[in-house]
Amino acid sequence: MHYESTERKPLILGDKSYHQITEDVVRPIETAAPRAWWVAFSIALVMFLWGVGSLAYTVATGIGVWGLNKTVGWAWDITNFVWWVGIGHAGTLISAVLLLFRQRWRMAINRSAEAMTIFSVIQAGLFPLFHMGRVWLAYWVFPIPNQYGSLWVNFNSPLLWDVFAISTYLTVSVVFWYVGLIPDFAMVRDRAINPVQKHIYKILSFGWGGKAKAWQRFEEVSLVLAGLATPLVLSVHTIVSMDFATSVIPGWHTTIFPPYFVAGAIFSGFAMVQTLLLIVRKVFKMEDYITIQHIEMMNIVIMVTGSIVGVAYITELFIAWYSGVEYEQYAFLNRATGPYWWAYWSMMTCNVFSPQLMWSKKLRTNLVFTFMISIVVNIGMWFERFVIIVTSLHRDYLPSSWSMFSPSFVEVGIFVGTIGFFFTLFLLYARTFPVIAQAELKTILKTSGEVQKKLHNDHGAQH
Amino acid sequence: MASNKVYWKSFDQLANTEVSQRLAENEFAQDIPVDVFLSEASSSDSTTSRRDFLKFLGFSTAAATLAACEQPIIESVPYVVQPDTLTPGVPSFYATAYTDGQDYASVLVKTREGRPIKLEPGDSARFNRGTNARAQASVLSLYDSARLREPRLGKKNTDWASMIIALKKSADQSRAEGTQFVLLTSSVYSPSLQTAIERLRQGYPNFQHVEFDAVSQSNTLDVWESLTGVRALPSIDLTAASLVLSFGSDFLASSMAQQVSSDYAARRKPGTGMLRHVELESNLSLTGSNADKRIKIKPSEVSASLAYLINQLGGSAPSVGLRGDLTKALQSLASEMKSAKGKTLVLVGGDDANQARLAAALNGLLGSFGTTLRSDKPVYIRRGNESRLSNLIADLSAKRVGTLLVAGTNPVYFRVDFSKAIAGAKFSMALTDRLDETAMLCTAAAPIPHFLEAWADYRPAAGEYSIAQPTIKNLFNSMPLLEVLGSVSGDLRSAKDQVAASASAMGLDWNKTLHDGGSTVSSGAISGTPAAAAMAMAASIKLAKPSEGMEIALYENALGAGFQANNPWLQELPDPITRLTWDNYLTVAASDALAMGFENETNSDGSLDGSYASIKVGKRLLENVPVFIQPGQTAGTVGLAYGYGRSAAGKVADGGGVSAYALGISTGSAKVEISKAEGMHEFATVQLGHTMMGRRIVNEVNLNEFVSDPSGASWNEKPTFHTIDGLKSAEEANLWANHDHETMHMWNMSIDLTSCTGCAACVVACNAENNVPVVGKEEIRNLRDMHWLRIDRYYSSDMSKDRAAEENIGGIEMYAQMEEPSESPMVVFQPVMCQHCNHAPCETVCPVGATVHSREGLNHMAYNRCIGTRYCANNCPYKVRRFNWFNYITNEQFADVNPSQDDFGRMVLNPDVTVRSRGVMEKCSMCIQRVQYAKLEAKKVGQPIPDGAFTVACAEACSTGSITFGDVNNAKSAVRAAKSDARAYHLLEEVGTQPSVFYLTKVRNA
């Protein structure tokens, strides 16, 4: 057995046995939901229904019920789309990239992070769909055979690339997540008393028997899927950024966008993971598994990616000046000093300045502070997309067409609705799925458990 | 006789070989296994019985019947006897004259399947040939469902026979009682109508005909009547002019603007000898925007300025003190005028008698009579006499009028005193197109036909006779005025017969005159020039000092006097200067607004709000007038447009704006008291950025620079790019594969920014041609206008890049100041439609390929394929794409405004152009239906399309010929010539879009 240096902090706190871990992870599934869950679920459901109503109204009446105009053709819709896609990125990064890099601290958080990925990609997908003027013809974006002669999709269009990128991403993420869930579902199945529950988990666990061969295949599939998912971490947001980067609009037409968007996505994704896990940890009493060290690690990622994003912002400004293109120069000047200066400076404050506070160890290990920063970062990243989309569009080449944008209650409703939908899904997930990949976690108990480390430290390798 | 020929198919058959015999026996080469099928065992033991079969049959018949019931039933009735002049799908054109109570124009009416759908300019030999915005829109007024449909007596509908009986009875009674029988109309310049009126006068000694113009020229007409003896305005001839000095005259937007602006553009071809235009005005008018030099002046300073100029030029006029800066400006003008004697034209706006006299004198002094000012060739379209109208009001109030017949005008709306007076008539009848403010107060109201429904004739100017012919059977139960008057006077001829009689009296060939839309005649000219009389008149007038306080000057925008106020195309047409729609408002200078506390503010959603003002002229008060802060407005003056504030015009017009007529201003300007009122008004604007922000959008050059550098190298510098292969032009520095532009056609459009006056006739023409939806005030306020063609208006700013560099002003401050228009801005107009880029940013981003490039240089939009992502609109650098935010053809929000929601309004739709559904993008198609039609016509005759054989709707509507459309692959085409002009440039060339539309640099004779 591989032993980990005792210099490394333990990843599992307290005196945990394998059974203890099982008990801790399965508790939310097997016990009745606490009142707080019901309250949260009701709120999320109401928000979701509001969103459904807003969407129904939009589809029935027309995109005109939003606040868009002849100059600003995208605003909250695509802002929300990019925001949600970005949030999704942390899950894949944690489960795939960190798996390849053998980062064991991922094991406590990857399940929820991946759930978050899937749920947020679902939200993201709603926007490109419902922002269409004729959503009932949305299937035309797929290159499907048709009776219209040689009518084909336009492979030049980044929006089409988006279709492929997002659908691939969602598919791979779901498969990867599900494969990881199989042994855990089997664990729940084996413990279930209620026959209905048992039956459901039986189906979900695909007849997992825990044979050595099964474990071996499980490991292989996980590794292959991790390999498949890793490029997606980079490709999805790169392609999303190309919606803007390949255009001719000053403020969009920027070659820095792909890395900048990927960094931003990881940044916002980790912030969202942080937000969710701080709650899960507290509510489901998982402090022993999602430790301060986990929180700190993620805070460091947030700080680093936040700095990358900050560098990107400054690079954009520099290049705008250096390019000598007056439209470009004006676009960035207008962002910072024009009618939407407040959005720009909200973005700057939230994304560039606030993560820098994480240099302080005291702050980055403070849970309340971390929670606040995670929210602030998510707000900031929403503003980043708003700034890119709206402030570039509202004043582009011809001043005669300059305009302003303000959302209607319907757009706000749809956004709130997706937040509701997201939390509805997440809350359901938290009560029915093992929120921690317990099977995986058990593999590191002997090496990274607090008690085991201490024993190892005290008694040497023979233990 | 039976044929004994033998036909054979092959040599074998001819020789009757064995093979052919076998083949003949065996018709089908392969056996068809009929027997196998019939003898199949399974068919006999099938479980489907005869009863089942009948059940299925019955069910499917019933199902098919039910399904058929749900199909919408579209009644389309074919012709029983097809007219031999009409081919479905092929338009017919008729020459006619357009009149709406205010304007006159010679036009060509395009009809499809018997429906007039579009007006085009008439024959080039005709007077005031062409279409302004109102003329273009008038075809929609024909299909206004608010039109009066039946004659009504009291509150009840009746028939024409009873109407005529009632009218005649009342007229007879008035004659017996000795009260007046009055016909009140706008200016009558129809020979047939004048004859009919004369006949009526003979039968009724108590008959009076009173003419008045909604926007009066009565005082000016009085002056000219005293000078020439004829109540008519002189025509203006710019072809002989080299300097036009206009005192508030909006001659490029007047009722004769088609003629005048065409001459104006012709004389302003960039080059030496280009006509120079100086405008001195209080409101920033369309004409003033086009001026080479514009001087801000108050209406009360006009007379004194004219007098000053007369004195400077050696004439005699009373001298009145003037502002120092104005005196200085006038001095330099005087010296300019001296050197352009005989080629100068002085014009005045408004209707002030003194101004008219002084202008006439100044023109006399400059030798303009007979050259630029043709009093010998008068225009008859204004004949109104306000003093006779005042007498009528007095007579009405004193109950001296027994019968009042109001025809084709709306005195209750136009004249504030009339609503009370009209009750004094014993019997009043309105011959009107709608139950308007006047008709509501009349005893009887009856519909008169639209100009496209009736016969009429006109003598609009000396030497011109024109005939208007119906192009559709009257939609409603209307009767032309000619026939109504005839019925009363006992002349029972039809309107057509009356017109034909007038034409034959002039010795004209009926068919030819009708075909041409009119004819040149010898009548109407005046001999002699009244120059001396005019100068003598000026010497003896008394002038008041310019006033100190606030003054108001009324003006006309696209709605004009307001005859077509219920026309949604005109209501939604952005004012060329303010870019506001659906409203009129007080235009106020920024300094005055600051002093009086008026504000304009843009909300977070881009909508514009403005303070309210109360304005008082004499004793008349107008409340809740929205205030718009207008650059270029003379401080101490305000402006207000006529034509709004209707209460009984129809759903479109009612409640929009305020009525300037309610102020009772007779000369067009007056002293005014203004105070701030509570609340904020919601404007509907289409343009928020007013300056070019230092960008090269409208390229402009001064005449002397233009002349000194014909190559354009110094003033039309094309963007270049540093590449690894050295400097390259935007066209060469290119990542894309080029389209083939040499084979077949390559459609290009040239827009001359020098001759474009910004009149916006093209915008309405485009609306009509392409079924552009009307979206109403609320949606315009949301910045969602649907116009395919817009006319951007930019003001100059006091801040420039050069100035910022000189004064060391930083970028942030510079751009902030650049957004602010100058207090006395230069104005430029730029029509912008889809630029039909040959490397179109919209085409690459559409995920479903709904917008694609044609090999003829056009960018196509396939509505059927569009799923509405709006990515194309976002990526369009010109922002010309328009999205269907709602279902404008069924959504109730647009029921009142969008013609295609109305059974009548729908008739105006061009059947060649799809009406777009919601959720799809649309934009200028370069009138693809016209392109295709021309190509098919050319194909039929087997000839290439000759240049100028067809053009697009905007180009056709343009009176100044600013828009040239054609095939650049045709070496002889006009557009090819324009493309090689040194002035040509592409808008935003540096983006590399390679548009098919290009602009010609604006040259200002400053």
Name the average pLDDT for chain A.
Answer: 89
Label residue A95 by pLDDT band (50, 70, 90): confident
CB B363 within 8 A of CB B345: yes
Which residue, B140, B274, B980, B893, is CA-closest to B567?
B140
B394's CB contacts (< 8 A; 6+ apart) are: none
Spans of all domains in chain B: 233-377, 551-682, 700-1004
| Chain B residues 797-836 with CB within 8 Å of chain A | 811-812, 815-816, 830, 832
What distance in Å separates the CA atoms of residue B179 and residue B25, rounded to the nearest whole number?
Answer: 105
**B152 falls in which pLDDT band (50, 70, 90)?**
very high
A contacts of B871 (beta carbons < 8 Å):
73-74, 157, 159, 243
- Token pair recorded at residue B580: 């506001």
Q: Which one of B602, B694, B875 has the shortest CB-CB distance to A247?
A: B875
Q: Under an 8 A CB cutoff, do B694 and A64 touch?
A: no
Tell me the one-letter amino acid at A255. T
Task: Give the percent of chain B with pLDDT over 70.
Answer: 97
Span B484-527, pLDDT tens digits: 999 999 889 999 999 999 999 999 999 999 999 999 998 777 88
Nearest Cα residue to B357 out of B226, B228, B534: B534
B804/chain A closest Cα distance in angstroms: 15
- Which CATH architecture fits B700-1004? 2-Layer Sandwich (3.30)
Owner of token pair 């827009």: B751
Across chain B, mean pLDDT equals 90
Nearest beta carbon to residue B847 from set A135, A160, A400: A160
The Cα A299–Cα A332 span in angstroms is: 30
Pick the residue from chain A with its C-alpha nearest to B695.
Answer: A326
Which residues of chain B have a CB within 8 Å of the CB of A326?
A: 694-695
- CB contact under 8 Å between B867 and A404, yes or no, is no
Residue B870 in contact with partner chain A when CB distance is under 8 A: yes
Q: pLDDT tens for residues B692-740?
A: 999 999 999 999 999 999 999 999 999 998 889 899 998 888 888 888 8
Architecture of domain B551-682: Beta Barrel (2.40)
Which of B697, B844, B868 faces A134 most closely, judged by CB atoms? B868
Which positions 964-1003 of B are in contact with A (Cβ < 8 Å)? 988, 991, 993
B869: nearest CA partner in chain A: A132
**pLDDT for residue B1 is more than 60:** no
Task: Give the per-residue pLDDT at B59.
Answer: 86
CB contact under 8 A, A326 and B695: yes
The residue-averaged pLDDT of A153-160 equals 92
* Cβ pair A64, B885 in contact under 8 A: yes
Residue B540 touches chain A, beta carbons under 8 Å: no
Least confident of A330-344, B23-37, B79-93: B23-37
pLDDT at A462 over 70: no
Identity of the residue in B605, B921, B991 whose CB atom sits nearest the CB atom of A405: B605
1.10.8.60, 1.20.1630.10, 3.40.1010.10, 3.40.50.620: CATH of A18-132+154-449: 1.20.1630.10
Whether B39 shows a pLDDT value over 70: the answer reads no
Cα–Cα distance, B913 to B456 (Å, whole number): 32
| Residue B43 pLDDT | 57
Q: B787-832: per-residue pLDDT in tens?
A: 999 999 999 999 999 999 999 998 889 999 999 999 999 999 999 9
Point out which residues pair with B830 in neighbouring strands: B792
Strand positions, DSSP E, B655-725: 669-671, 673-682, 700-702, 720-723
Q: Which residues of A are less than 8 Å from B884 in CB distance?
A: 62, 133
Nearest neighbour of B606 by CB, restricted to A73, A154, A405: A405
Token pair of A47, please?
A: 């928000």
Please enumerate in sequence order all residues whose Cβ is within 8 A of that of B738, keeping only pairs 6 or more positions apart, or say none: B838
A391 touches chain B (CB under 8 A): no
Q: B562, B477, B572: which is closest to B790 by C-alpha?
A: B572
A154 CB neighbours in chain B (<8 A) are: 844, 846-849
DSSP B478-514: ---HHHHHHHHHT----HHHHHHHHHHHTT--HHHHH
Domain B233-377 in CATH 3.40.140.10? The answer is: no
Q: Do B873 and A326 touch (CB under 8 A)?
A: no
Residue B204's region, left for phi above 0, alpha for psi from -120 to 50, else beta, is beta
Cβ–Cβ gap B879/A333 under 8 Å: no
In this complex, the residue of B783, B843, B991 whose CB is nearest that of residue A403 is B783
Single-letter amino acid, residue A354: S
Is A167 near chain B, with CB under 8 Å?
A: no
Quick one: CA torsion of B680, B682, B685, B687, rounded to 10 degrees? 50
Listed by start position, the domains of chain A span 18-132+154-449
Determine, for residues B606 and A403 on separate chains, whether the beta-carbon distance falls below 8 Å: yes
Q: Does B878 touch chain A (CB under 8 A)?
A: yes
**Chain center to CA of B502:** 31
Answer whether residue B908 shows pLDDT above 80: yes
| Closest to B612 (Cα-Cα) out of B586, B633, B576, B594 | B586
Backbone angles phi, psi at A459, to 5 degrees: -115, 0
Distance CA(B765)–CA(B831), nearest Å, equals 13
Task: State the smallest CA–CA distance between residue B852 and chain A in angstroms.
Answer: 10
Residues of A in contact with B782 (CB under 8 A): 67, 69
Greatest Cα-to-Cα distance within chain A, rounded to the nearest angstrom: 80
Q: At which residue do the structure tokens 């795939």 appear?
A: A96
CB spacing of A133 vs B694 below 8 angstroms: no
Question: What pLDDT does B191 receive?
Answer: 94
- In this structure, what DSSP letter does residue B559 have? T
pLDDT exceeds cutoff 80 at B45:
no
Q: Is the pLDDT of residue B37 over 60?
A: no
Mutate to test the interface with B, among A337, A400, A406 (most CBs of B within 10 A): A400
Q: Which residues are B98's β-sheet partners?
A: B105
CA-wise closest residue to B879 among B916, B835, B941, B820: B835
Q: Which residue has the higher pLDDT, A91 or B790?
A: B790
Q: What is the pTM of this model?
A: 0.89
Q: Who contacts B169 (Cβ-Cβ below 8 Å, separation ≥6)?
A: none
Q: Please answer yes or no on whether B877 and A396 come within 8 Å at the CB atom.
A: yes
- Is the pLDDT confidence value at A463 over 50? no
Residue A8 to residues A4, A104, B156, B373: CA-CA distances in angstroms? 7, 11, 99, 100
Task: Give the A window 124-143 contacts with B, CB below 8 Å.
Answer: 128, 131-135, 137-138, 140-141
Contact call for B879 and A71, based on CB within 8 A: yes
Residue of A nearest to B792 (CA): A400
Q: Chain B: nearest CA to A11, how far in angstroms? A: 47
* Stretch 769-798 of chain B: residues touching chain A, C-beta under 8 Å: 779, 782-785, 790, 792-794
Q: CB distance B849–A152 less than 8 Å?
A: yes
Residues 393-432 of A with CB under 8 A from B: 393, 395-406
Residues of B in contact with A386 (CB under 8 A): none
Contact criterion met (CB below 8 Å) for B798 and B581: no
Please judge whether B885 and A68 are an interchain contact, meaning their C-beta atoms are less than 8 angstroms apart: yes
Q: Is the pLDDT of residue A448 over 80?
A: no
Contact B869 A397 (CB under 8 A): no
- CA A411 to chain B, closest CA, distance in angstroms equals 14
Distance from CA of A443 to the nearest CA of B (A): 47
How many C-beta atoms lie closer than 10 Å to residue A286's C-beta?
A: 20
Q: Which structure tokens are listed for A205?
A: 């666990």
> Within the 236-255 window of chain A, which residues sit less than 8 Å (CB to CB) from chain B?
243, 246-249
Q: Considering only CB atoms, which chain A residues are within 8 Å of B848?
A: 140-141, 153-154
A64, A131, A246 ranked by CB distance to B886: nearest: A64
Question: Does residue A327 belong to the interface with chain B, where contact is any CB pair within 8 Å?
Answer: yes
Which three-class secondary structure string do you get for B148-213?
CCCCEECCEECCHHHHHHHHHHHHHHHHHHCCEEEEEECCCCCHHHHHHHHHHHHHCCCEEEEECC
Instruction: List pLDDT tens digits, range B292-308.
Output: 999 999 999 999 999 99
In this structure, are residues B771 and B765 in contact, taking their beta carbons and an 8 Å threshold? no
**How many A×B Cβ pairs under 8 Å?**
190
Q: How far is CA B542 from CA A1, B228, B307, B326, in A?
A: 116, 22, 11, 21
B862 contacts chain A (CB < 8 A): no
CA distance B64 to B381: 64
